[in-house]
Amino acid sequence: MCGIVGYIGSLDATQVILNGLKRLEYRGYDSAGIAVLQNEEIEIRREAGKLINLQRLIEINPLSGRIGIGHTRWATHGEPSARNAHPHLSATGDVVVVHNGIVENFLELREELSAEGVVFRSDTDTEVIVHLVERYLSSGTDLVEATRKALSLLKGAHGIVILSSREPDKIVTARIGNAGGVVIGIGDEEMYLASDLPAILEYTQRVVFLESRQMAVAYQDKLDIKTLDGKPVIFEEHQVTWDPISAEKGEYRHFMEKEIHEQARSLTDTIAGRVDIEDGHRVRLPELNLTREFAKRIDKIIIIACGTAAHAGMVGKILIERISRIPVEVDIASEFRYRDPIVDQDSVVLAISQSGETADTLAAMEEARRKGATLWSIVNVIGSQAMRSADGYISMQCGPEIGVASTKAYTAPLVDLYMLAILIGDLRGTLNDRAREQLIADLRLIPDLAGRCIEREDGIKKIAPKLMNTNHCLFLGRGINMPTAYEGALKLKEISYIHAEGYPAGEMKHGPIALIDEAMPIVVIAPKDPWYEKMFSQIEQAKARDGSVIAVASDGDELISNVADHVIWVPETPWMLSPVTTIIPLQMLAYNIAALRGLDVDQPRNLAKSVTVE
Ligand code: F6R
């Protein structure tokens, strides 16, 4: 969704902001704009469509300065057009704002401001903010106080950055609620502001994350943070270890392709330092802050997440229940938050989120907090809200995931959940030494097994053309690989726009089997796991109805190769980790089909990387 970049320092602000916005393109947007203080006046350029349109406009009509703000907008109020793109300027031209979030009471505020004579120049909710700030500035208050007063009138969740030509030594930024993050990068006599880390990593890795209801004033050489009611905040500076190069595409055509190929490495990183072979093959997850006493007290775990992360949670349910014998529920975060869930101080609510900023997941975490549960999170983005607001967390260690379709941030949490299950099982005594040692020995195989799947992309490239023109596709799985069917279908639909359904194979005969005919390709996930025989008979049932079957099967499985139309081979994998090796070829299949269809793989239509609105 919307992206924000701001800069104050001695570099050319236009270039820094355009570079930053470019790195935020993956978030999804439909217009872009930039405002720079040039010769003491605010100059704005805005354009509908992709950033390249804005860049062309700037080439024709350049602007430059040492302080500025920029934005990529994902339309909510008003069509995607230049006039609705951010930044929005006040009537005097002295104040300019970019904003993530929704001003829920904007109609009221708009009426009030119109009655005061303000003429609106866009259809956006954001424009009310700049007029409110202007209202207070013109009555003699300074920018910080005017912003504070304006913010106090807004309903909803917001990330806001404001610049004024009357006070050209600063940029003011604030965060209220969960409309995405605000991160401030500290450079050498310069400050960077952004909604997301990749926008600024190229320039600095020293960062401060703004909490909800905090306001920061960034000067070239200092940062001042207070709460919205004016109390000073002692803030913590973080050193981000992400390598800026990892946010670049390198030799790959798309980020998604690169991220699929990074999985052997990201799985190595997520395991690194967490398995102590010398100390009896034990798992260490220090940031979880889990004691033996609490592990024994946990009466249930509820995993909350959205989309791909929820599919990882479904695998996690099977792993945690099997290994540590604690009941686990999995709930879609947007459902959990409104269902009055039954949780108490002995329950753990575990949020899984790549971005750590998904509005529904954060709201579900707040609901769990209100009800007294212990909060854990598995997150990729270091310093994200889901990491900060949990009592303990596990970091995915994937590095930046830029492609909108999540890949490496799906397989890493599968392994994190596996390690978590071992840790809890160990602390609760449901796992004896031998069983634990075997599980850990299996775990250590997984980066190599993932690597072997990735090496087989040529086989996938032969199957992709056969599916590229299909209109529908069914994915079937069972047990620990049932979520693989959901996830395989989600990958295909979101980037290739082919209608795809993931289904628990055992449910076929209760309805969906009616869909099967020669025009319906069926991807059957049937590795050698405890559900193998059931899946095999599923293939036969599909073939008996003329279905065309693409099977994901373990190396050397002749039975399957005799019945399926096409086989995607995966190396034999310990069954609890098999969802890692079964999903990788399906990610590659979706990717190759979308690429063959000539689609915008990294930024599929209507989608955003970080869903910061409800
Ligand atoms: C699908 C995808 C989405 C996300 C979902 C949650 O490929 O990426 O379904 O998984 O929007 O996002 P996070 O994990 O950032 O909370």
Containing H/E element for 23? helix 13-23
Tell me the sheet residues that pair with 100: 159
Q: Which of 60-69, 228-237, 566-575, 583-592 has the lowest mean pLDDT?
A: 228-237
Yes or no: say if 381 and 197 are a contact pair by the CB < 8 Å rule: yes
How close is the Cα of 609 to the center of ligand 1, in Å? 7
H-type alpha helices, 83-142: 106-115, 127-137
Residue 518 has pLDDT above 90, yes or no: no
CA angle, residues 172, 174, 178, in degrees to nearest 5 = 155
Split at pLDDT 50, 70, 90, the class of 28 is confident
Specify the pLDDT at position 564: 95
pLDDT tens-digit series, residues 221-234: 999 999 999 999 99
466 carries an active-site annotation: no
- Decide which of 345 and 277 is more confident: 345
Specify the pLDDT at position 245: 62
Q: Which of 93-97, 145-149, 383-387, 393-397 has the lowest mean pLDDT?
A: 383-387
Residue 400 has pLDDT above 70, yes or no: yes
Q: How far apart are the C-alpha atoms of 486 and 341, rounded to whole Å?
A: 24
Q: How far apart are the C-alpha atoms of 465 and 451, rounded to whole Å?
A: 24
Q: Which two tokens stand for residue 585?
A: 């070829």
Specify the pLDDT at position 24: 85
CA angle, residues 242, 246, 247, in degrees to nearest 5 = 100
Pocket flag, ligand 1, residue 302 (CB < 6 Å): no
* Ligand 1 nearest atom to the CA of residue 308, by list position: 10
Q: Which residue has the least CA distance to atom 6 on ligand 1?
A: 306
Pocket flag, ligand 1, residue 358 (CB < 6 Å): yes
Q: Which residue has the tokens 């596990």?
A: 394
Pocket flag, ligand 1, residue 307 (CB < 6 Å): yes
Catalytic residue chosen out of the listed positions 22, 317, 493, 609: 609
CA angle, residues 362, 163, 387, in degrees to nearest 5 = 20
Yes or no: say if 409 and 307 are a contact pair by the CB < 8 Å rule: no
Q: How far apart are the C-alpha atoms of 255 and 253, rounded to whole Å?
A: 7
193: Cβ contacts below 8 Å, ≥ 6 apart: 4, 5, 6, 7, 69, 161, 171, 173, 182, 183, 184, 185, 200, 218
* Ligand 1 nearest atom to the CA of residue 405, by list position: 7
Q: Which of 83, 78, 96, 133 is nearest to 17 (CA)?
A: 96
Phi, psi of 532, rounded to the nearest 5 degrees = -55, -50
Q: How far apart are the C-alpha atoms of 390 and 408, rounded to whole Å?
A: 22
Containing H/E element for 577? none
Specify the pLDDT at position 251: 84
226 carries an active-site annotation: no
Specify the pLDDT at position 246: 65
Q: Which of 28-37, 65-74, 329-338, 511-520 has the lowest mean pLDDT?
A: 511-520
Q: How far apart are the C-alpha atoms of 231 and 538, rounded to whole Å?
A: 63
Return the best residue to mutate from 197, 365, 605, 611 for the ligand 1 pocket (most ligand atoms within 8 A of CB): 611
Pocket flag, ligand 1, residue 178 (CB < 6 Å): no
Pocket flag, ligand 1, residue 612 (CB < 6 Å): no
Split at pLDDT 50, 70, 90, the class of 256 is very high
Split at pLDDT 50, 70, 90, the class of 56 is very high
pTM: 0.80
Split at pLDDT 50, 70, 90, the class of 243 is low
How close is the Cα of 309 to the center of ligand 1, in Å? 6
Pocket flag, ligand 1, residue 406 (CB < 6 Å): yes
Catalytic residue chosen out of the listed positions 2, 306, 453, 473: 2
Yes or no: say if 204 and 172 are a contact pair by the CB < 8 Å rule: no
Pocket flag, ligand 1, residue 354 (CB < 6 Å): yes
SS3 303: strand
Residue 439 has pLDDT above 70, yes or no: yes
Yes or no: say if 87 and 70 are a contact pair by the CB < 8 Å rule: yes
CA 334, 337, 338, 344: dihedral to nearest 10 degrees? 150
Yes or no: say if 489 and 500 are a contact pair by the CB < 8 Å rule: yes
- Decide which of 382 and 351 is more confident: 351
Residue 307 has pLDDT above 80, yes or no: yes
As a whole number, mean pLDDT of residues 93-105 equals 93
How close is the Cα of 406 to the center of ligand 1, in Å? 6
Q: At what angle do helices 457-467 and 578-596 cross, to 10 degrees?
A: 50
How close is the Cα of 352 to the center of ligand 1, in Å? 9
Residue 328 has pLDDT above 90, yes or no: yes
Specify the pLDDT at position 26: 74
Residue 280 has pLDDT above 80, yes or no: no
Split at pLDDT 50, 70, 90, the class of 483 is very high
Q: Which residue has the least CA distance to atom 7 on ligand 1?
A: 405
Specify the pLDDT at position 247: 67
**Mean pLDDT rounded to a whole number for the chain:** 93
Return the best residue to mutate from 406, 417, 494 for the ligand 1 pocket (most ligand atoms within 8 A of CB): 406
Specify the pLDDT at position 384: 87
How close is the Cα of 492 to the center of ligand 1, in Å? 14
Yes or no: say if 206 and 383 are a contact pair by the CB < 8 Å rule: no
Specify the pLDDT at position 533: 94
Residue 63 has pLDDT above 90, yes or no: yes
How close is the Cα of 99 to the center of ligand 1, in Å? 22
Q: Which of 221, 219, 194 is nearest to 208 (CA)?
A: 194
How close is the Cα of 592 to the center of ligand 1, in Å? 20
Quickly count: other Cβ atoms within 10 Å of residue 279's Cβ. Answer: 8
Specify the pLDDT at position 115: 95
SS3 7: strand
Q: Which residue has the least CA distance to atom 16 on ligand 1?
A: 353
Q: Which residue has the least CA distance to atom 10 on ligand 1?
A: 308
Pocket flag, ligand 1, residue 377 (CB < 6 Å): no
As a whole number, mean pLDDT of residues 133-140 equals 94
How close is the Cα of 120 to the center of ligand 1, in Å? 36
Return the best residue to mutate from 308, 378, 407, 586 for the ligand 1 pocket (most ligand atoms within 8 A of CB): 308
Split at pLDDT 50, 70, 90, the class of 322 is very high
CA distances from residue 325 to 285, 424, 427, 431, 570 in whole angstroms, order as listed: 19, 9, 12, 10, 29
Q: How far apart are the C-alpha atoms of 54 and 47, rounded to whole Å?
A: 5
CA distances from residue 488 to 119, 259, 378, 587 in whole angstroms, order as listed: 50, 16, 21, 7
SS3 575: helix
